[in-house]
Amino acid sequence: MLELKKVNVRYGAIQALKDVNLRVERQTIVALIGANGAGKSSLLNAVSGIVPYTGEISWNGKLLPHHPPAIVRAGVAQVPEGRQVFSNLTVYENLLAGAYVNWSKQRIEKNIERVFSLFPRLKERASQSAGTMSGGERQMLAIGRGLMSEPSLLLIDEPSLGLSPILTTEVLALIQQVNEQGVTVLLVEQNARKSLEIAHRGYVLQNGKVVMEGTGRELLNDPAIQEAYLGVSGCA
Amino acid sequence: MLFQQIVNGISVGSMYALLAVGFSLVYNILGIANFSHGAMIALGAFFSYWIARYLAVPVPVAILASIAFTGLSSALVELVTLRILRKRGQGSLYFFIASLTVFNLVTAVLVYISRGNIVSYPRAFLSGTFTIGNLYIPWIDAGMLLISIVCLAVLSYVMFKTRFGLAVRAASFSIKAAQLMGMDIDAIIQGVFFVSGTLAGVTGALLGVKYAVYPYIGNFVYMALFACVVGGLGNLTGAVLGGLLIGLLETLVSAYISSAISPALTFAFLVVILLLRPQGLAGRATEEKI
Amino acid sequence: MLRRAASILAISALVLLVAGMGISAQADVIVIGEIAALTGPTAQQGLQERNGAVLAVEEINAAGGVLGKQIKLITYDFKGQPAEGVSVYRKLVQQDKAVVIVGTNFSNVNLAMAPVAEQLKVPVLSNAMEPAVTTPEPGKVNKYHFLAQPSSIEQGAIVARYALDELKFKTAACLVNKGNSFATSQAEAFRDYFNANGGKVLDYIEVPAGAVDFKAQLTKIKASNPDCIYIPQYAQEAGLQVKQARELGITAVVLGANTLGVPPFVEAAGSNAIVAGTYFINNVHFGDPRLADFMARYEKRYGEPVITTNVFFGYDNVYIIKAAIEKAGVAEPEAIRTALENTKDVKILQGAGTITLDPNTHRPVDMPAWIFKWEADGTTVPMTLMYP
């Protein structure tokens, strides 16, 4: 279980997260929704140790260190949005980069096979530069790369950014598939409806604070959520 | 005479190339012009000279030892300047200034120690000349070219075939994404400074053998900067090409136009490149760094 | 904040004033200022120059001083910068109340100091060879600047005459540091003399200041295959040029300025073998029996041998000044200036042993210099004493 207790993040005078408490049960998908600047990415980055924070973050009962390499080694990997694949490296090298913390030939080969079976497209493009790929392919690569460290918890940031609705559905289905293989997922997604549909639970962040939580279905049916994030009142 | 001038140009250019590559490595990952590179050139020249003179070891051994020294010195500079500035979240301008300060400081200390004297190696190393037809090629020039090729081959092996190289290239695209892969960014940056320092050190030592050892020898760092700009900042192949091109340009301008105006023309060429092709001759349009 | 700054300034001004009064109050002392290269690539020369001057001052003071007063020598470094030379000149005049200044042998520095000396009216006795230091334009003389060795016109021409008459050379090339008027003024004189007297300068190539690679220029010279190459640069730069010329297989004889008689020249060139056969000019022949006593005195006083000609600059300049002050009868800048202008047959160590200054040019009259040759065993051999 991922547990955040009273987590605060500051950037100078701006407080990005205020006393955030949050839990993600093992092998579930939790969606984090909120407007731009609500603190969603800051929360993921705090867990990944790349922004300083106060408070406690633990995974499976153990406090996570603040050092990114140790966090990845502890089984917590982040999939940043697709533009953050290494476009100066080939697809294959991107996957190697994902395996940085467990650099052994056999494990790399095993994990690459696993990723290729999940995303056959990547296999075709293995020797191609990641910079030449389409948005959807980059997103797949980002997720595949995230799996290379054999994470038990995957933090996924905006997987649908820049994707068509069809591709978004496809990518979210893949995330569900990854989850069914036993990986816990904390998902930040601008498309609140689609992410809540696949999530077991959801949290709503507003101005750095958790303002609401519930199961995916509860949040989907909440009128306030519908108006603010699901575009039910007509401004899609 | 033209062929002799081309030989002269390539011999100068190969050194610029090696300097430019080291300079470019740090620029790639941090987006910062690292002028402490100049300090490492000067230290490389002086360390190997001192070791050769006072420990009385053969010159190649002295050069190897000095390369290790400059690598470590460069890593140390990273630790006491850049690391601290980065942890404080200070901008790259601060590092630029810090690196320039380190450069000037080291130069000033070397001026003090050497009393500003130009000195040469106690024992001849790669001295003399061989001829091919009527081409005169000093052994040191041939040696420098060979050593640059070896260094570049080793560097490209490290960059493209090792875990460290992968991390450096990844971090050069995005430090944040590299950290998310579990890469220890502090260690990687320090490693890059080490490698860059060794390249500056080997060049400094060889320049010291070729010309002489003097405290202002670090000024060759400006040629590294120019070579990088001409080749395309952030592009290692471009840095090599830029170095060779500037070496040839300098030599040919000196030979066929006017040697007194050669520096002016080199700068003019640089300005033209900056205006017409800011991404450099080998560079693609600059991608925005995230 | 501003008020505090103002009061700090006021206090500093007061301190300076008091300090200044303290010095000017020592009326029984004659202050001679010296400007020299105490740091930088030519520090060895500068430090020996100071040693030479100090030795002369010690001798004079021990013998009772000048006009019954002791001489106090204050030496400042110009740190390789002409601007710093100007700044320390002002300091010597305004703060230290020096009545006359000696130094430097760097034409660029004295060229910068000359107009300031005309304003502050404290004379400078220098070894800066560029003629424009004392005569900024034909027919005009800087009243407060003097030269105590053959000018670069004379030195360049002497070397050219030696190449033509003694070495029987017909063709020459000049390689010149464009950023150093010491070099350009000699090279121009060499070229003009050589061309006007039956020889031909095939290449006259200027290189930018600070260059260390001369292969492009030397390759060009090699193609025109001259009998000799004239490189009137400072020692270390010239050393690199000789080294690179030999690397390119150039066998032409190398001729140089009075800067080449020192070990740094050989070090920069790489070895004795490389510099062997190089000729250069110098005011002093260290092995001259006339100087043996002085050489021994210097070595005894400083525990190091005389290596650079600058020792003689420093030493002789102080004695030329002493003669001028005695002639003037009073240690005042204007009187010293007039006396310096009329310096006649004053005994010195350099050249043939005396110096006379021309009131119209402020430069020596008929002061000779030696031509030397580097031998393969690392010694320099005097060939002949040549008059301009």
- How confident is the model at residue B285, as a pLDDT? 47
Residue B78 forms contact with C (CB below 8 Å): no
* Cα separation, C158 vs C387, whole angstroms: 7
Q: Where are the alpha helices (DSSP H) in A49-191?
A: 68-73, 91-98, 105-118, 120-124, 135-147, 165-180
- C250: confidence class by pLDDT, cuts 50, 70, 90: very high
**CB-based contact B183:A72 (threshold 8 Å):** no
Do chains C and B touch by CB distance (3+ pairs < 8 Å)?
yes
- How confident is the model at residue A231, as a pLDDT? 66
**CB-based contact B178:B185 (threshold 8 Å):** yes
Share the mean pLDDT of chain B. Answer: 88
Please say whether the dihedral angle defined by the alpha carbons of residues C255, C258, C259 and C265, taken in this order, is positive or negative.
positive
* Cα separation, B100 vs B8, whole angstroms: 30
Task: For residue C270, list chain B residues with Cβ-Cβ distance below 8 A.
Answer: 120, 124, 127
Residue C329's contacts (CB-CB under 8 Å, 6 or more residues apart) are C67, C335
Angstrom distances, CA of residue C269 to CA of B60, B203, C235, C244: 20, 20, 9, 8
Domain ranges for chain A, please list them.
2-75+151-229, 89-150
H or E element that contains B23:
helix B2-30
How close, in Å, is residue B20 to chain C by CA atoms?
18
A157: DSSP letter: E
Residue B237 forms contact with A (CB below 8 Å): no
Q: Per the structure block, which two tokens stand in for C21? A: 């009064």
Q: Where are the beta strands (DSSP E) in C58-177?
A: 70-77, 100-102, 124-126, 145-147, 171-177
Q: CB-CB: which of B169, B176, B290 is closest to A50?
A: B176
- C89: confidence class by pLDDT, cuts 50, 70, 90: very high
- How confident is the model at residue C1, as a pLDDT? 52
Pick the residue from chain B with its C-alpha nearest to A143: B181
Pick the residue from chain B with its C-alpha nearest to C79: B116
Bond preceding residue C104 cis, omega within 30 of 0:
yes
Amino acid at B276: L
Given an 8 Å threshold on Cβ–Cβ distance, is A68 in contact with B166?
no
- How confident is the model at residue C6, as a pLDDT? 59
Residue A132 forms contact with B (CB below 8 Å): no
Q: Which of B160, B174, B181, B288 to mutate to test the interface with A (most CBs of A within 10 A)?
A: B181
Nearest CA to B280 out of B289, B269, B266, B264 is that of B269
Task: For residue C175, list chain B residues with Cβ-Cβ distance below 8 A.
Answer: none
Tell me which residue has tokens 């090599």: B240
C-alpha angle with apex B221: B218 to B226, nearest 5 degrees?
A: 155
Interface of C with B in 151-190 (CB under 8 A): 178
Q: Are strands C279-282 and C253-256 parallel, antiparallel or unpaired?
A: parallel
- How confident is the model at residue B128, as a pLDDT? 81
Average pLDDT in the B26-51 region?
93
Q: Per the structure block, which two tokens stand in for C341? A: 């202008």
**CB-based contact C100:C78 (threshold 8 Å):** no
- How confident is the model at residue C80, as a pLDDT? 79
Nearest CA to A30 out of A201, A165, A212 is that of A201
* Among A17-26, B264-273, C37-46, the range of highest mean pLDDT: A17-26
- How confident is the model at residue C138, as a pLDDT? 87
Fold of A2-75+151-229: Rossmann fold (3.40.50)
Q: Which residues pair with A16 in a beta bridge?
A: none
Q: Which of C39, C215, C248 to mutate to test the interface with B (most CBs of B within 10 A)?
A: C215
Q: Count Cα atoms within 13 angstroms, Cβ side, for C195.
A: 12
Residue C41 burial (CB count, 10 A) = 22
Burial grade of C170 (CB within 10 A; 0-12, 13-18, 19 or more) = middle
Pick the residue from chain B with its C-alpha nearest to C40: B116
Task: For residue B162, list chain A residues with Cβ-Cβ distance below 8 A.
Answer: none
- How confident is the model at residue C368, as a pLDDT? 94
Q: CB-CB: which of B1, B116, B136 is closest to C40?
A: B116
Do chains A and C touch by CB distance (3+ pairs < 8 Å)?
no
- How confident is the model at residue C14, as a pLDDT? 57
B55: DSSP letter: S
Amino acid at B114: S
**CB-based contact B187:B194 (threshold 8 Å):** no
How close, in Å, is residue A232 to chain B by CA atoms?
34
Q: Which of B6, B10, B121, B136 to mutate to test the interface with C (most CBs of C within 10 A)?
A: B136
Interface of C with B in 78-107 (CB under 8 A): 80
Instruction: Tell me which chains share at least 3 CB pairs under 8 Å with chain B.
Output: A, C
C-alpha angle with apex B249: B33 to B117, nearest 5 degrees?
A: 65
Q: CB-CB: which of B1, B118, B214 is closest to C223?
A: B1
Task: For residue B290, list chain A residues with Cβ-Cβ distance below 8 A.
Answer: 83-84
Which strands sit side by side in the sheet containing A14-24, from one edge to the other?
A14-24, A2-11, A54-59, A62-63
Given an 8 Å threshold on Cβ–Cβ distance, is C208 in contact with B136?
no
Task: For residue B179, list chain A residues with Cβ-Cβ distance below 8 A.
Answer: 48-50, 68
Average pLDDT in the B118-140 region?
82
Given an 8 Å threshold on Cβ–Cβ distance, is C249 in contact with B251?
no
Task: For residue B124, list chain C residues with Cβ-Cβ distance below 8 A.
Answer: 270-271
Q: Is C47 helix (H, G, I), strand (E, B) or coil?
A: helix
* Cα separation, C141 vs C357, whole angstroms: 13
* Cα separation, C358 vs C355, whole angstroms: 10
Average pLDDT in the B116-123 region?
75
> Is the pLDDT assigned to residue C121 strictly greater than 90?
yes
pLDDT in tens, C148-192: 999 999 999 999 999 999 999 999 999 999 988 889 999 999 999
Average pLDDT in the C220-227 region?
95
Q: What is the CATH number of domain C2-150+291-355?
A: 3.40.50.2300
Q: Where are the beta strands (DSSP E) in chain B?
A: 129-132, 135-138
SS3 content of chain B, % helix, strand, coil (to 5): 75, 5, 20
Q: Which of B76-90, C12-26, C326-340 has the weakest average pLDDT?
A: C12-26
Q: Where are the alpha helices (DSSP H) in A158-222?
A: 165-180, 192-198, 216-221
Nearest CA to C370 out of C356, C387, C348, C353 is that of C387
Q: Per the structure block, which two tokens stand in for B14? A: 């190969």
Amino acid at A83: R
Residue B259 forms contact with C (CB below 8 Å): yes
Pick the residue from chain C with its C-alpha nearest to B261: C208
Mean pLDDT by 10 residues, chain A (236 residues): 92 89 93 88 93 93 92 94 88 94 90 91 91 89 93 92 86 91 91 89 91 88 81 49
Q: CB-CB: which of A67, A97, A149 is closest to B170?
A: A97
Q: Per the structure block, which two tokens stand in for C65? A: 């001083």
* Cα separation, B7 vs C45, whole angstroms: 37
Quote the percentage of chain C above a pLDDT of 90: 78
The fourth-level CATH superfamily of domain C152-282+370-386 is Response regulator (3.40.50.2300)
Interface of C with B in 38-57 (CB under 8 A): 39-44
Given an 8 Å threshold on Cβ–Cβ distance, is B163 in contact with A48?
no
Instruction: Quote the distance between the C-alpha of residue B263 and its chain's center.
Output: 19
- B288: confidence class by pLDDT, cuts 50, 70, 90: very low
Given an 8 Å threshold on Cβ–Cβ distance, is B252 in contact with C216?
yes
* Cα separation, C18 vs C180, whole angstroms: 40
Average pLDDT in the C234-261 region?
93
Q: Where are the beta strands (DSSP E) in B133-275?
A: 135-138
Pick the residue from chain B with its C-alpha nearest to A103: B163
Pick the residue from chain C with its C-alpha nearest to B110: C40
- How confident is the model at residue C39, as a pLDDT? 81
End-to-end CA distance of chain B: 49
Q: List, as one string, the DSSP characters of C154-204.
A: HHHHHHHHIIIIIS---EEEEEEETT-HHHHHHHHHHHHHHHHTT-EEEEE
Q: What are phi and psi of C139, to 5 degrees?
A: 85, -5
**Number of helical H runs and strand E runs in chain B:** 12, 2
Residue A52 forms contact with B (CB below 8 Å): no
Given an 8 Å threshold on Cβ–Cβ distance, is B260 in contact with C212?
no
Task: For residue A85, list chain B residues with Cβ-Cβ distance below 8 A.
Answer: 177
Interface of B with C in 8-47 (CB under 8 A): 8-9, 11-12
* Cα separation, A158 vs B66, whole angstroms: 49
- How confident is the model at residue B234, as a pLDDT? 76
Q: Which of A81, A100, A127 to mutate to test the interface with B (most CBs of B within 10 A)?
A: A100
Q: Which of A211-220, B168-177, B178-187 has the weakest average pLDDT?
A: A211-220
Q: Is A161 helix (H, G, I), strand (E, B) or coil?
A: coil
- B289: confidence class by pLDDT, cuts 50, 70, 90: very low
> Is the pLDDT assigned to residue C55 strictly greater than 90?
yes
Domain ranges for chain C, please list them.
2-150+291-355, 152-282+370-386
Residue B30 burial (CB count, 10 A) = 20
Residue C114's contacts (CB-CB under 8 Å, 6 or more residues apart) are C124, C133, C136, C142, C144, C145
Q: Which of C50, C176, C218, C219 to mutate to test the interface with B (most CBs of B within 10 A)?
A: C219
Given an 8 Å threshold on Cβ–Cβ distance, is B263 in contact with C42?
no
Per-residue b or e along A134-159, where b marks 16 or more CB atoms closer than 10 Å to that residue's CB: ebbbbbbbbbbbbbbbbbbbbbbbbb
